[in-house]
A and B are shown apart, each in its own frame.
Chain A
Amino acid sequence: MSGAGIGRRFFLKVLGATGVAAGCSPTHAPEKLIPLLVPPQDMVPGKPLFYRTVCRECSAGCGVTARSREGRIVKLEGNPEEPTSGGALCARGQAALQELYAPDRFRGPLLRNAEGRLSPVSWEIALGKLTEAVRGASPDGVRLRTRSEPGTAGAIQRVFLAALGVPPDHREVVPGRDEKSLRAASTLLYGRSELPRYDLSLARSVAAFGADFAETWLSPVELGRGFASGRGLPESQRTTLAWVGPRLGTTGAVADRWIACRPGGEEDVALLLLRWIVDPANHVEGLDPQAAPVRTALAGFDPRAAARRAGIPLEQVAQLGSDLTSRRPSAILGSHTPELAALLLLANHLLGNVGRTVSFGQDSLLESYAQPAPGKAQVLLLHHADPSEGDAGVPLVVSFSSRPDAASDRSHLVLPDHHWLESFGDLEVRKGVLAVAQPTMAPLYETRSASDVLLQIGKSLGLKGLPPGDAQSISRKRVSARAAELGAMRPDGEHGLFMRGVASAPAAPEARPLVGSSVPALLSAIPAAPREPALFAFPTALAAADPRAPSWLREVPDAISGICWSSWVELSPRDAAAIGARDGDLLAVGNAQLPLSVYAGLRDGVVAVPANAPELPGLRGKALSLRRISPGRLPRIPGAQDDAGRDLLPTAAAVAAREEHHHGHEHGLDKGIGHEHPPEEHPYGMRPPPSHPVHRWAMAIDLDRCTGCQACVVACYAENNIPVNGAEAAAQGRNQAWLRIQRSIEAAGTDVKVAFLPSLCQQCDRAPCEPVCPVYATYHTSEGLNAMVYNRCIGTRYCSNNCPYDARVFNWQDPVFPSPLDLQLNPDVTVRSKGVMEKCTFCVQRIRGAENEAKSERRNLIDGEVVPACAQTCAARAITFGDLEDSAARINRVRQDPRGYRLLEELATGPAVTYLARGGKS
């Protein structure tokens, strides 16, 4: 994708739309359809405005471009000018919009009443309550637990606490999920608590020890993009991936090699890998001089025992080692425990990856993760952080949650913070990269920025040393100052800073000498006893299991299991058979009841539960008994596990062989599933393809790049107003997604292959769905789209039956968008009513928008100017979209890829979607 095309268009719009003034005072969402007497500045009805800000859903801090229509945000996309997101956004980031419009958001402050329920109070009362409590508490009794806030919010917290006289260690920062072990590892090996930065785009081979870098690990958008940039290439240049862990998750599914160790066996595999690397017998060249002490330290190490502990055949380690040493630079990721992280960092160091794929000196190091001070709190402030067991009995727990969560459940006072889309802020994602956050719309409710609350309380208490002004002005001043300091301030000043959403002067990687003495200590610290916890909690990019997650994350099924709206337990086929349970049965697991999903990509002897399952805390640390209760109904998207031998997901080698075959022999259409000649060379069907005088829109999807992260699916939901139908509908086959990630699980013993197939309307030249419609509700447009005319549709559903790709979905009932989620609806797309058919349109509204814009500017469309929502948000850049009539368009080049094939080509439908086959061994 040419970043220039999108950047330019966005730039123009952002230029026209924002300004600091606009950024400071985004317009209120109109609630009535009346003409405005004095229209707000810059707001043209029907024209989108774009605001740049920073995603706060995880610690990665991706840049966001928020699209605003008539004062409300309707879509979140990545910020192409910001290096972390690179213009893409994951499923979770996009679903932040549903947090903003969550029906259960707190409308104002809440105070727990005598009956133990939270009831609304005014800000005066709420702030008064907190002020009194802080005044009454000793400085030692005030605690603050916060998520990592390396920007203004954190600074204000620190200043506030300091002004109160509270010691710094009373501010407890909860690190990002995977950060802690990585920092510990860095401390151990290099003597500095530093977060390494991984650049997978440089890696030629990657080994992930349970690090699901395409789903949740560290910075999934950035890592997924980097990894995918090495895919879809010829075998010799292609980045290989090895997955080490008991379960193939979405990231593991795209791996070329799976080492199915026991849960907790990763350290043993890491040790075996280290030993293999330093073993002189393996002649690994270019090893770091530190290999010698490692070799010495591992002299007494028994590989067989370690392999037994890990539960893997020893030769798998050799294969892994040869992958990682022969295809360098490589990258080895993993952080389950600090020990594992350290071992892997050491392996990276020995192989010379540090400084290339793994770099230091880029951590912004703005937060210190000190051990929380001991002692009992009198007032505990929870800033987007969870309460812990030790908090019981604190007289006043205050949370800044904007929605019901674990913190608000435990707190006495809730002072709802703005959503991050409504507030100012800044985040130095890594050294020299300052992401700038601004409100993208006026707050929906009577919420207040947590920083302002602290400042206000400080003022009421008459504290000295607080900065003047409110959080907004402080933040803006800080951002400008830091940008100037970085030398990233451009002539357009603060205005330009907010427009780009980032000030970037990335720091160069620094070399780090290994602290030699740490190695023997590390290698001796590995526990020798085999650990076999039966329970394995795996993270998921989506949140089917989490009852408090936004509905898109619950509706879009887990890519591997196809489950939505429920937590579940996974067993391997053998283990399931052992307890006489079948897929979908309800199981008693410990004291919880969970539906069973039988998964061949799970090691025998492991009970796997999604990490966000509410049942999980009750299962930890106990002996697990498994018992089948009854046949149940698993809310799972129906469908077969694999392609039933129909060859829908051939490997690149198979596609090449198929081509070879076709050139060798001529044969008719009746060979069934075997794919036919490419139409360009051999006309197929009875009639010539329809002509497309101006454009012929087409798509190519690189299956080798696709990581199955489902961000595209969520983008499609957001862009196209697709209703969320719930668990029952999903199990009935009434999930309404226009774009789905189909997955195929082929298991032959321990050889398990998982493959993803993003499936959407193929916009056929000769679409079988069209001629069967009695009322012309669907037809072939002159631009090659298979148009769907909702208001002409009478709902015979014949088109759906006759679509060989099952791309069409029907509105089985009227869609429901519980208020205020309806504010998110895209005004450019019709909300369909019950009884009509719908399907992917290639985001026709975006095509029309770009065409109109080009027309008004009296120019032709530029390749890359039209980007459907799915392609836009794909971190892996797996989706290419463009105009086949434009001979210079990228899509025309991509379609020539020898890996290209089209689904069910023998039906002569002439699909506009080309799939590029997966690489790797067939």
Chain B
Amino acid sequence: MPLEGGRLGVFGDVSQAAEAVRALRSEGMEVRAATPAPFPELVAALERPISLIGLSTLTGAVAGGALGLLLAAGGSWAWPIVVGGMPIVSFPAFLVIVFEMAVLVGALTNFVGLLAICILGRKRRGVPFDPRFTRDRIGIFVPGGGIRAEQLLLQRGAEEVRDVA
């Protein structure tokens, strides 16, 4: 993946990393992070907007519910057979189908949406790969960051800072 250059700081402590993020951002630099877990302190420091993945999920759920209704009502109309003296379209019975389909399609769109959005985001807001970032270190990446960024990272306790070409 082609990645823009910048400075990558490796932290071993969440608070220090959060401190570094705040410092970098106060100087107007764009900051990205790679972490083994979504540490709340760091997340707060990054101040990223809330994900809008819910929109796709909601759309999926509504569509799924509608599909469920269509399936149940349409299927019953297509095969209009009297059972137990019930009306052909028995809404109370179909509510179960509507609900299950809403959850099923909603959950599927949620997952597919997550996949899609992460693949897209990886291109837009990537962080250089380091196996430690999924393990025990926190990476703070300043794209296009220069000496100043390196200074700030080191000041806030980065264990090492790399210059990514």
Contact = CB atoms under 8 A, between A and B. Distances in A.
A binds B: yes
Interface of A: 685, 687-690, 765-771, 773, 776, 778-780, 910
B129 interface: no
B83 A779 contact: yes
Interface in B35-92: 79, 81-87
A689 B85 contact: yes
Q: What 5 A-B pairs come out closest when comparing CB atoms?
A: A766-B85, A770-B83, A771-B84, A780-B82, A770-B84
Contacts of A778: 83
A780 B79 contact: no
Contacts of A776: 79, 81, 83
8 contacts: A688-B85, A767-B84, A767-B85, A770-B84, A776-B79, A779-B83, A780-B83, A910-B85
A687 B87 contact: yes
A688 B86 CA distance: 9
Contacts of B85: 685, 687-690, 765-767, 780, 910
B83 A687 contact: no
Nearest to B93: A771
- Among B79, B83, B85, B93, max chain A CB count under 10 A is at B85
Contacts of B81: 776, 779-780
A687 B89 CA distance: 13
Contacts of A688: 85
A771 B79 contact: no
Q: Is the interface of B mostly helix, strand, loop or mixed?
A: loop
Contacts of B87: 687
Contact of B83 (A685, A689, A771, A910): A771
Nearest to B86: A771
Contacts of A770: 82-84
Interface in B83-140: 83-87, 93
B77 to A, nearest CB: 13
Contacts of A771: 83-84, 86, 93
A639 to B, nearest CB: 26
Nearest to A687: B85
Contacts of A767: 83-85
A637 B132 CA distance: 73
A767 B79 CA distance: 18
A688 B82 CA distance: 12
Contacts of B86: 687, 766, 771
Q: Is the interface of A mostly helix, strand, loop or mixed?
A: loop
A869 to B, nearest CB: 27
A773 B87 CA distance: 16
A739 B82 CA distance: 25
A88 to B, nearest CB: 35
A765 B82 CA distance: 10
A653 B26 CA distance: 97
Nearest to B87: A687
A221 B87 CA distance: 47
Given A766-B85, A770-B84, 18 more contacts: A685-B85, A687-B85, A687-B87, A688-B85, A689-B85, A690-B85, A767-B83, A768-B84, A769-B84, A770-B82, A771-B83, A771-B86, A773-B83, A776-B83, A779-B81, A779-B82, A780-B82, A780-B84
Contacts of B82: 690, 770, 779-780
A779 B93 CA distance: 17
Contacts of A687: 85-87
B70 to A, nearest CB: 19
B75 to A, nearest CB: 10
Nearest to A789: B81
Nearest to A787: B81
- Among A771, A778, A910, max chain B CB count under 10 A is at A771
A680 to B, nearest CB: 16
Nearest to A689: B85
A455 B81 CA distance: 65
A687 B85 CA distance: 7
Contacts of A690: 82, 85
Contacts of B84: 766-771, 780
A910 B86 CA distance: 13
A688 B85 CA distance: 8
A431 B24 CA distance: 124
A593 B50 CA distance: 85
B116 to A, nearest CB: 35
- Among B81, B83, B86, B93, max chain A CB count under 10 A is at B83
Contacts of B83: 767, 770-771, 773, 776, 778-780
A915 to B, nearest CB: 21
B118 to A, nearest CB: 39
A768 B83 CA distance: 8
Nearest to A802: B84
Nearest to B82: A780
A910 to B, nearest CB: 7
A676 to B, nearest CB: 16
Contacts of B79: 776
A767 B81 CA distance: 13
Nearest to A767: B84
Contacts of A766: 84-86
A767 B86 CA distance: 10
A689 B87 CA distance: 11
A770 B85 CA distance: 9
A769 B83 CA distance: 8
A562 to B, nearest CB: 32
A776 B86 CA distance: 13
B138 to A, nearest CB: 53
Nearest to A910: B85
A770 B83 CA distance: 5
A563 to B, nearest CB: 36
Nearest to B83: A770
Contacts of A779: 81-83
Nearest to A771: B84
A872 B82 CA distance: 30
A68 B131 CA distance: 86
A243 to B, nearest CB: 44
A530 B64 CA distance: 87
A765 B83 CA distance: 9
A144 B81 CA distance: 66
A910 B85 CA distance: 10
- Among B82, B87, B93, max chain A CB count under 10 A is at B82
A524 B33 CA distance: 123
- Among A685, A766, A769, A910, max chain B CB count under 10 A is at A766
A143 to B, nearest CB: 68
A764 to B, nearest CB: 8
B52 to A, nearest CB: 39
A770 to B, nearest CB: 4
Nearest to B85: A766
B157 to A, nearest CB: 64
A765 B86 CA distance: 10
Contacts of A910: 85
Nearest to B84: A771
Nearest to B81: A779
B65 to A, nearest CB: 21
A793 to B, nearest CB: 14
Contacts of A765: 85
A622 B81 CA distance: 66
Contacts of A685: 85
A904 to B, nearest CB: 15
B94 to A, nearest CB: 12
B87 to A, nearest CB: 7
